[in-house]
Structure 1
């Protein structure tokens, strides 16, 4: 590979050659997901033909020119070829355009069947345009981030002209990934609507049309909005029993507080620091108390603890968070909140440190709370923050960022001082034959055929005693929440709350969940508990109304640890596909 190669400005030509020099490690195959082209007008050029010198391939070669497979994991809808049988020749793809074009941008989406087979993706690539080499370099592996939540695309720019880039943005389905929320999910603006109104399933592969297809409308349009009001906060113990202490009883048992202190004993694994994002205090009837005139200090001497009371809690901005050095040989940091006058406080809301997925491990895991200098009976086990806040949509409490970006869900943890004994270190796995965790996450990677929507009928969680764990609205978050995030869609009954309403063997729209498949993101479901909760089995009921929209590939993680990855049986119009994920093994 040459290091002194210079990418030309708006190269012009008629025929493109993509030369696959090496893979990311697969000894036999090299492949690719999608190639996107944009000309100097910011538009996608028309193609005349595409061919390859490879003799053994998987998938239709034309697949790579359809700009709708970014999240695809089906090898038949991507393209790969045997390179080990070409006798020292490289795999080549030749794309002939209809007319001579000036290229402004190329985006490469690498092979993304799964983490293992992502090694089939092209690594070193050369692109020739007629007789000129316009790119020579390395393409990212599809799964380079630790979460593996979405495949990665590499963008090659041949211009810095702002007008051209703006025109590209107007036609770029992937540019919408950053701007979905900023522009109220105006999908039309970002080129998700095709010039052709054909359904992609009806397109003849012999036609030279690789235009983006219109996302089909779905469901009946209703005029009345479904109520999404939150229920009262319940507590679920490990037997599945729900308890809620009346607010009046809480208030009568809690003395007024002048000073709140919190000693931080342990983080989630970061080697040398510990921190929090924010605090709020709860009064009678769980109302949020005014803390504008409270004073926050820390034993570390750093004058930054006041950030904990700034109210900017749903954020990924480290400037709005509090972080201090912490090692086992140092005394535990202590936060002190002094109230201007005694207040009756029944609990505290805590947002853990959330600067990034990696830095979320600096969040507090174990802490001890003191009220007026008197310690509560037990240590407090805090939930780790998600560490992510990009382009997500949450209906949990509807607390949003001021800069119009959204966290994946409201990661607040409410600690009630009369209920702290339920926050304990989890029992060892052999004693329970089940897993324990705060956050159970389902990542939904692909469907059984639909390219625009993905859905489920319902989910059920069972305790280590094999009893059904009741789930409430505050336990659930989905990204995207439902098809109601799309422009022009209002009051569609297929909302995320239906996942936990118990009506799972059905095709009724009022009892199922459907959400759009967005560029650069897989759909996700979070089941969130305020206390560590033992789960022995998760039952997943697949989407039945339109079986092609049901989930095919998914993974299940518990507090960031992947515990299952597999395939959900497809439903039929008469029978619901059911997957039982055992967490006892």
Structure 2
């Protein structure tokens, strides 16, 4: 295995890794499984066997893996599809989950995006749906002043980058999708590709983010834990990026309710 060559082969653009080149998912999984098998403290657990006494977790073929020595300083999210809106993409909230299951603190100076928000467009100058709304803590809401919205172009990259002040142990992510109204949920993000310190940790087709409900009667968060991906993934050929023409499209046509 050419370990030194794996990090660069899955980049669509030099700055935006999307894990879509052939073999990228398999390469990552081979490398990560080897790492887990050799990680300090896992012992036989890294091979999917019963943990040694005093050890925590089992391997990628078992129920849980806890890699305590792995720490990352940067996180990159590349959103490549919406739930049908061809012009806009947004989220209501985002949390980075640490190894203890609690959200890691994120400050505005640590987060950047391209595009940053609608104010990047000439026709917008003071839109309130800015990047800071992703981390303002008001995630179970229908008020768009607590949401983030950007111009969306099918087939291009839409990237959020978080650079931590120090290396952190990251277990996963928690998303609240765009939720202004039932019609506006089509603006929510559908597919995200995730990289930690430049290493892809998502399947080749990306992670699916649940569509918002269009109400706030319950917590509609979507948790993505990287260890869950280890359990269900197989070293299979990568899937192709979704065809924008095949996505569900939003409609503004009024549909009359069926009356008895």
**TM-score (ref. length: structure 1):** 0.27
From 68, 72, 86, give the equivalent of 1:437: 72
* Correspondence 1:535 to 2:170: yes
CA 571–444 in structure 1, closer or farther in 2 if over 3 Å, else same: same
From 210, 225, 228, give the equivalent of 1:582: 225
Displacement of 1:441? 1.0
Displacement of 1:513? 0.2
* Correspondence 1:474 to 2:109: yes
Distance 2:159 2:94 in 1: 13
Displacement of 1:447? 0.7
Q: In the alignment, what sits opposite 2:11?
A: 147
Give 1:506-525 correspondences, 5 Å limit.
Answer: 506-518=141-153, 521-525=156-160
Distance 2:103 2:220 in 1: 20
Distance 2:75 2:178 in 1: 20
Q: Which has the higher helix share?
A: 2
| Contact 1:433/1:536 (<8 A) preserved | no
The 3-state SS of whatever aligns with 2:71 is strand
From 181, 195, 210, give the equivalent of 1:557: 195
From 129, 154, 172, give the equivalent of 1:494: 129
Distance 1:443 1:429 in 2: 33
Distance 1:534 1:429 in 2: 16
Distance 1:461 1:506 in 2: 19
Cα-Cα RMSD: 2.7
CA 429–450 in structure 1, closer or farther in 2 if over 3 Å, else same: farther
| Contact 2:84/2:187 (<8 A) preserved | yes
Q: In the alignment, what sits opposite 1:366?
A: none
| Contact 2:178/2:188 (<8 A) preserved | yes
Higher-RCO chain (CA-CA 8 Å, sequence separation at least 6):
2
Displacement of 1:491? 1.2
Distance 1:573 1:429 in 2: 45
Displacement of 1:524? 1.0
* Aligned residue-pair number: 169
Superimposed CA distance per residue, residues 413-462 of structure 1 (whole angstroms, 9 cap, x where no aligned partner): xxxxxxxxxxxxxx969585365211111110101110000011111112
Distance 2:137 2:91 in 1: 12
Give 1:103-252 correspondences, 5 Å limit.
Answer: 146-148=10-12
In our comparison, the structure showing a higher alpha carbon Rg is: 1
